[in-house]
Chains A and B, each alone.
Chain A
Amino acid sequence: GAGVSQSPSNKVTEKGKDVELRCDPISGHTALYWYRQSLGQGLEFLIYFQGNSAPDKSGLPSDRFSAERTGGSVSTLTIQRTQQEDSAVYLCASSLRPGSNYEQYFGPGTRLTVT
């Protein structure tokens, strides 16, 4: 079946502009996660959704970052007034349920470049 999909695959934007990144989880997966991988850095957690609510948004680096999920499916990560340090690969993952018994399946990522 279809895996996790993300769009766009690449995004180049000017500093100060807003961007929206989209994630389509695997159908039926209730848990959805956003991660970020900066150049030369490891992966870091941003936010997690269970259904449409976000029990843990502790990883969002600033109030310029926000995310929402609608219909228990598609999620959008929005970055306002982008800065060069926002350049990274943004990864989405989904799992059937939250909790350590369930594997996370990763999307291909969106490579964001802020010029």
Chain B
Amino acid sequence: KNEVEQSPQNLTAQEGEFITINCSYSVGISALHWLQQHPGGGIVSLFMLSSGKKKHGRLIATINIQEKHSSLHITASHPRDSAVYICAVRYNTDKLIFGTGTRLQVFP
């Protein structure tokens, strides 16, 4: 069982839809990262958070420490949002433990 669980594994949406990707982890963490990986492309860090909520443009990330759960929301989705979104957690070490990713496809 992966220490970091993401859902759904695959997600398709129509342009303009509101999207939610979920991430759960099993023990207390020091930080949680949301990463984006485009097909054939590198990885971009979207958010790093340890509590509360962060917003950047159409992207919103929230974390509930007590429930050990985080969500990534995309408002007004666009085909260019199509990518793999990866949740990663950091415990009391410096290495990241990654979820298996959520593959998002947004159709026009």
Interface centre among B43, B48, B90, B100 (most CB of A within 10 A): B43
Neighbouring B residues of A58 by C-beta, 8 Å: 95
Contact A106 B96 (CB under 8 A): no
Q: Which residue of A43, A103, A107 is within 8 Å of B45 (Cβ)? A: A103
Q: Which residue of B35, B44, B94, B100 is within 8 Å of A99 (Cβ)? A: B94
Q: Which residue of A lies closest to B94 (CB)?
A: A98
Question: What is the count of residue pairs linking A and B with beta-carbon distances less than 8 angstroms?
Answer: 56
Q: For window 40-86 of chain A, which residues contact chain B by CB distance below 8 Å? A: 42-45, 48, 50, 55-56, 58-59
State which size class the interface on B falls in. Answer: 20 to 34
Contact B94 A107 (CB under 8 A): no
Contact B42 A108 (CB under 8 A): yes
Q: Which residue of B41, B90, B101 is within 8 Å of A42 (Cβ)? A: B101
Contact B30 A100 (CB under 8 A): yes
The 9 closest A-B pairs by CB, nearest first: A100-B31, A100-B30, A106-B43, A43-B98, A45-B95, A108-B42, A42-B100, A98-B94, A42-B98
Chain B nearest CB, measured from A32 CB (Å): 10
Task: Write the residues of chain B forming the contact surface with A, with a CB cutoff of 8 angstroms.
Answer: 2, 30-31, 33, 35, 41-45, 48, 50, 86, 88, 90, 93-101
Q: List 14 A-B contacts (CB under 8 A).
A: A42-B99, A43-B86, A43-B96, A44-B98, A45-B95, A48-B94, A48-B95, A91-B42, A91-B43, A93-B43, A100-B31, A103-B45, A107-B42, A109-B42
